Amino acid sequence: MNIHSYEKVWLIAAMLLIVGFIATITYGSVALGITMVDDSEETIDPNALEEHERFGDLGVHQTDSDEYDVHVRAYQFNFEPGSSALGTHDPIVIPQGSEVTFYVTSPDVIHSFSLVGTNVNTMVVPGEISTMTAEFDEAREYGVVCNEYCGSGHHGMEGLVKVVPEDEFHLFSVADVDAPESIEAGEETELTATIDNDALQTEAATVTLEIGDEQFDTDVEVDAEASAEATFTVDTSDLDLEDADDLDWTVTVEADSPATLEDGSTSGTIDLETDEDDEEADDEDDEADDEDDDPNDDDESTGDDE
């Protein structure tokens, strides 16, 4: 078999090309430390995700000073957490400069979990858990898409990852608010909020109570992975009650932080025992109700959030 010498030259060049490609990929794997999604996780029963230690507790969890785990359920046709565009779920919020490991699985069909414009991209297969660790050095938002066809609503499956400056990040939530069911107008009353801190370090939380048309702030220090109480004493005679027959309140932790999500605030209503009620007051009250409503909160009737 005779091969023309020019073709031999090309054969050598082609082999160099192939070896060069493999060498580049190996360089990325070894020197840059880029790892592949793999079989390091045990399989999971897709019909019993809530019984799993990770997927029974979705969301962002701190594991070390700058390390976080995010547990995400990708299902037809949302990410939980992540799909926040229509208010279905919270966005994923993580602090700048952190190393984040995503754990993603699916209870139904194959999806993907892909941060648009990045190299964070994985298939999500029912029965398997995809894990990916990446460092987020820039404070910005990333869109998340499902890039594997998953059914007729596939195109609507999107989410959001918000990387926020470290000082705006926290893992507080309002666990409970102890508020009276009813008081007499003009009386002094007390509301006590229980604030959970899921972070691995003690942090100070600013807790805000909005009641009537007034706002009160108080600072409370919460130990790592513990709770603390913030108490507000409100003299209703200071409030402009305008013949209202009830009083709406909202307790929010770190109200200005982008890391404050649905569990970061709780609302309720206190009945006011007044001498007279009239129709006009009712109407005004309804309007006020609409304005004060926290759009993220549909749990208005009681102070107990969880």
Residues 71-90 that bind another protein (CB under 8 A): 76, 85
Q: Give the nearer residue to another protein in terms of CB position, either 59 or 126.
A: 126
Q: Are 65 and 97 in contact (CB under 8 A)?
A: no
Among 118, 182, 233, 237, binds another protein (CB under 8 A): 118
Q: Residues 138 to 197: which contact another protein by CB under 8 A?
A: 141-143, 145-156, 158, 160
The candidate with the shortest Cα–Cα distance to 51, out of 122, 92, 105, is 105
Residue 215 backbone phi and psi in degrees, to 5: -135, 135
- Residue among 25, 204, 224, 226 that touches another protein (CB under 8 A): 25
Residue 161, phi then psi, degrees to nearest 5: -115, 125
Per-residue mark of binding to another protein, 32-51 (x: CB under 8 A): xxxxxxxx-x-xxxxxx---
For 217, other C-beta atoms within 10 Å of its C-beta total: 11
Return the residue of 115, 171, 179, 253 that touches another protein, per CB under 8 A.
115
Q: Which of 131, 173, 197, 236 binds another protein (CB under 8 A)?
A: 131
Judge whether 169 and 93 are in contact, CB under 8 Å. Answer: yes
Strand (E) or helix (H) holding 290 = helix 279-292
Least distance to another protein from the beta carbon of 301, Å? 31
- Rounded CA-CA distance 299/135 in Å is 35
18 touches another protein (CB under 8 A): yes
Asked if residue 4 binds another protein (CB under 8 A), the reply is: yes
Is position 56 an interface residue for another protein (rule: CB under 8 A)?
no
